[in-house]
Structure 1
Amino acid sequence: MAGIIRNRLCSQALQLQRNLRNGYHLRSVSTTKLFLDGKFVESKTDEWIDLHNPATNEVITRVPVSTRAEMQAAVDSSAEAFKSWSQTTVLTRQQIMFRFADLVRKKSGKLLDYSTVFKDIAANITLEQGKTLVDAEGDVMRGLQVCEHACSITSLCLGETLPNVAKDMDIHSYREPLGVTAGITPFNFPAMIPLWMFPLATVCGNTMVIKPSERDPGATMMLCELANEAGFPAGVVNVFHGATDAVNFVCDDPTIKAISFVGSDTAGQHIYERGAMAGKRVQSNMGAKNHGVIMPDANKEATLNSLVGAAFGAAGQRCMALSTVVFVGESKKWIPEIIERAQKLTVTAGHEPGADIGPLISPQAKQRVLDLVESGVKQGADLLLDGRDIVVPGYEKGKLCRANTT
């Protein structure tokens, strides 16, 4: 069974990489499956979300808006799996996590260019999300590092004791799994954030349902395939898809005991409030943007390189992207050099060699950038570098935008 799963994964990834390398348009549109009780299942919904390649605007898959029955089936599967999974030894769960981390990083050997499964996931991220392949590989690497951290569960889950805290009284504390947990993940790190969530939740003895971003769920589905091969029992991880209704279901369902969320302020506040009102533990990691203050005694070369990478990397679609910089004193004289470096950045599809800036995730995301630049100009800002009207040959329909600096 493991060999069949791996062959299917490698075949899909090989075709994906060929399409990326050759700029090939997919002729048939597949559907993204649900992952229920250890199996990939076609949704019975009549509502679908078209997922576009941001570089070409071509529809590459259709993501289901899961029915309520499908979402309930995922939770029920996780609840049933929790009964036995929570009773497995910590060493058993650790061994499965060792195998899972190894599968993410290992060489497949089935691909023509001897790529790794690691790179296959990165290629899928580039196809669905748009970031450069180098950036996508970093996405997977950061998630893999959390998997490796989860392998130290034998130390992480130690309890505490305090003898003689009072006469004839000792204190013993134990770490016990909560039950069914849920993860709601964002579009900008489609591998890293799921890998922050379900490895740690499950290695502690919990089960998890995941609602990945409907804009790029492919990486999560590939990780679920690897979880099957690593030996995760059916039901320990389940995946359904959707948007607002799916999020509200997670917040309201009484079986789900805890929610982990990464995303925007608006969504995060809603999930925190609604989930907390339902008595759940909620960790809500909401939108963030960095600001920089540049002092005149800073190392010039290191600072300029860092500013360009932080401001324009991933087309600014990182939680910690640098959107505002304050130059102090003599450091203001460095601004022309930042413009010069930004002008040299290569804007193209993320899979193209030498790409520095890939496309934005959606037409709405690009329009938001355009509106922000325009609002700055109307308020009196000097537009030192205008990349709004860039046209990249071969990707005229893509959501591409050159660096903008005011």
Structure 2
Amino acid sequence: MTATPNDTILDHWINGTTSPGSSTRTGDVFDPARGVVQKQVRLGSAADVDAAVDAASKAFTDWSQASIARRQQVMFKFRELLNARTGELAEILTSEHGKVLSDAAGEIARGLEVVEFACALPHLLKGAYSEQVSTDVDVYSLRQPLGVVGVISPFNFPAMVPMWFFPIAIATGNTVVLKPSEKDPSAANWMAELMTEAGLPPGVFNVVHGDKEAVDRLLEHPDVASISFVGSTPVARYIYETGTAHGKRVQALGGAKNHMLVLPDADLDLVADSAVNAGFGSAGERCMAISVVLAVDSVADPLIEKISTRMATLKTGDGRRSCDMGPLITREHRDKVAGYVDIAAADGATVVVDGRGIEVDGEADGFWLGPTLIDNMPTTSQAYTDEIFGPVLAVVRVSGYAEGLEVINAGPYGNGSAIFTNDGGAARRFQREVEAGMVGVNVPIPVPVAYHSFGGWKASLFGDAKAYGPHGVDFFTREKAVTARWLDPSHGGLNLGFPQHD
């Protein structure tokens, strides 16, 4: 590996400004397309987390009492700034994650949807009111913020996933400590600075970089009210169990093994396009990527031919160039994903398109693995049972709908699943019978829009609350019921001016 000397060290963002913190540990941040270190990032200590939580606790006193109109104004301003500077953030994402610029811009757009949803929270924060439940007695409900909330986000969507959480948390009156992935951390600081530019007071949004030490302190800190997490299932289980053991609300979104069931009446051109798009976008580093195509026997061969033909047109390379797919996040992850191709072949599968050792439009030291297609994948193979999280698409042949559904539901995950068919009855049956939290009908990546909620079933979700949408509002607020009796009416005097809020 060729390292690029760089004195740049990314600091934490605490109480409205950069802070080196107390820890002297740092980690490498790579440019995956070049295979070189481009900067260092602070790896925060427990004391650094404490400093961020302390700043957030102090800021909560005023921010939780700020008017809904004031919070909404900050969100509107952030939305405008983010929309205007999407290109700047996309370049950061491509530089540190490796995804192509268009994919990075798409990630930001999906995060922006949640910001726009947060702009409408005044409507969703309205309580209920019941008049005269008893003589001269009324009952009404209030939604109030939790306090300091922790967010732990993954490397694959360093902008979108944090935006699944912090806009709703902040708009509902909470303060935030974000621990982004140390592999691509710069987007978190960029967004924190932009929130400050939008008018957010110091301490409301803090960023602490780090590894397990910082995560564990967030999970254990007595002043952190909740934890939001997205990542692999083993870590999600750990986050959930540790956080709840310390009395916190936890929403922990885990891994996936998403299937696409293709029936004989499906439009195979649409299926082939969808399989390639959903399998290899963002180099397959998506929890909603399609990793398994369940093809009914009669269409398997022509479908594989169509998918292979489309894969031959894809260009893998530096995301800042005119390429379709970029590198994987690290050399170690690239090697791990490539290892699954070896496992599948050893277990009797057929490697139809091999992405190992392909020619790329990028530096030789980049973390490259091209799109890979595997046919006749045994469901007993570790390459089938594990979440690979890379550009490897497997085909499992099934006899029909019933066997396909059985294969999907037998798996431990239940994040997303899709069916491709022109039979409305089959689609309706599938959406009722499949054991997954998000379902696509002729849609390969069924990520809900911001005013619904994102989350799976089974080992893909720990806790009761999904991300963003109505679940997000519920998660970041507590309801309070008030029973009131007022015996004497009163008024505030004369004022003929038009009523206004502030």
TM-score where L is the length of structure 1: 0.89
Match of 1:247 among 204, 210, 215: 215
State the AA in 2 paired with 1:398: G
Tell me what 1:88 maps to.
66
Structure 1: gaps (5+ residues): 1-24, 107-116
- 2:37 maps to which of 56, 59, 71: 59
Please say if 1:335 is aligned against 2:284: no
Q: In the TM superposition, what are the counterparts of 1:345-384 in structure 2 within 5 Å?
A: 345-353=314-322, 355-384=323-352
Pick one of 85, 90, 96 that aligns with 1:128: 96
Question: Do 2:22 and 2:47's aligned partners in 1 also have CA atoms closer than 8 Å?
Answer: no
Instruction: Report SS of the residue matched to 1:326.
Output: strand
Report matched runs for 1:204-283 at 5 Å.
204-283=172-251
**In structure 2, the residue corresponding to 1:349 is in which secondary structure?**
coil
Q: Which amino acid is the alignment partner of residue 235 of structure 1?
A: G
Q: CA deviation at 1:240?
A: 0.6
For the 8 Å contact 1:295–1:329, the answer to whether it is kept is no
Offset of residue 368 of structure 1 = 1.7
Q: Is the 8 A contact 1:343 1:403 kept in 2?
A: no
Shift of 1:199: 1.0
How many angstroms does 1:394 deviate by? Answer: 4.4
Asked if 1:199 corresponds to 2:167, the answer is yes
Distance 1:127 1:394 in 2: 13
Tell me whether 1:183 sits opposite 2:161 in the alignment.
Answer: no
For residues 249 and 375 of structure 1, what CA distance do their matches in structure 2 show? 38
Sequence identity (%): 40
Task: Report the Cα distance in structure 1 between the residues aligned to 2:141 and 2:199, rounded to whole angstroms.
Answer: 30
Aligned to 1:326: 294
Q: Choose the corresponding residue for 2:313, options 334, 341, 344.
A: 344
Give 2:264's aligned amino acid. Answer: P
How far does the alpha carbon of each residue in 1:112-171 deviate from its partner, in whole angstroms, 9 at most, with x for none? Answer: xxxxx1110011000000001010001111111111110011101111123355676543
- Structure 1 residue 317 and structure 2 residue 285: aligned? yes
Structure 2 Cα separation of the partners of residues 203 and 345 of structure 1? 41
- Residues 276, 311 of structure 2: 8 Å contact kept: yes
2:46 & 2:299 partners in 1: Cα distance? Answer: 57
Higher mean alpha-carbon deviation, 79-88 vs 287-296, is at 287-296
Higher strand share: 2
> C-alpha separation between the residues in 2 aligned to 1:223 and 1:372?
36
Instruction: Tell me the SS of whatever aligns to 1:384.
Output: strand
Structure 1 or 2, whichever has the larger Rg, is 2
User: Which residue type is aligned with residue 46 of structure 1?
Assistant: T
The DSSP-based 3-state class of the residue aligned with 2:182 is coil
Give SS of 1:176's match: strand
Q: Counterpart of 2:352 in 1: which secondary structure?
A: coil
For residues 22-69 of structure 1, what are the alpha-carbon distances to aligned partners after superposition, in whole Å with 9 as ceiling and x for unaligned? xxx976341111101100122442211111111111111101111222
Determine if contact 1:37/1:234 at 8 Å carries over to the other structure: yes
Q: Please give the alpha-carbon distance, in whole angstroms, between the structure 1 residues aligned to 2:184 and 2:299.
A: 40
Q: CA deviation at 1:266?
A: 1.2
Deviation at 1:393, TM superposition (A): 5.6
Where structure 2 has 5 or more consecutive residues not aligned to the other structure, the ranges are: 375-502
Query: After superposition, what is the alpha-carbon deviation per residue over 1:224-258, rounded to whole angstroms, capped at 9, x for unaligned?
Result: 11111111000001111111111111110000001
| SS class of match (2:145) | coil
Aligned counterpart, 1:306: 274
Tell me, yes or no, if structure 1 residue 159 matches structure 2 residue 127: yes
Matched to 1:305, the amino acid is: D
Once the two structures are superposed, residues 334-372 of structure 1 have per-residue CA deviations (whole angstroms, 9 ceiling, x without a partner) of 21121111121101011111x111000011211121111
Q: What is the alpha-carbon distance in structure 2 between the residues aligned to residue 295 and residue 168 of structure 1? A: 63
Alpha-carbon offset, residue 267 of structure 1: 1.1
Counterparts of 2:39 and 2:53 in 1: how far apart (Å)?
25
Match of 2:332, as an amino acid? Answer: Q
CA distance in 2, matches of 1:118, 1:263: 25
Q: 1:401 corresponds to which residue?
A: 369
Whole-Å separation in 1 of the counterparts to 2:28 and 2:319? 20
Q: Secondary structure at the match of 1:282?
A: strand
Deviates more, 1:126-135 or 1:164-173: 164-173
Change (3 A) 1:27 1:245: closer
* 2:416 aligned residue: none
Letter in 2 for 1:265: T
Match of residue 27, structure 2, among 49, 52, 56: 49
The AA in structure 2 aligned to 1:171 is V
> Are the counterparts in 1 of residues 315 and 360 from structure 2 also a CA contact under 8 Å?
no
Q: Partner of 2:350: helix, strand, or coil?
A: coil
Give the secondary-structure state (helix, strand or coil) at the position aligned to 1:250: helix
Partner Cα distance (2:55, 2:324) in 1:
43
User: Aligned with 2:143: secondary structure?
Assistant: coil
SS at match of 1:345: coil
Q: Distance in 2 between matches of 1:174 and 1:212?
A: 32
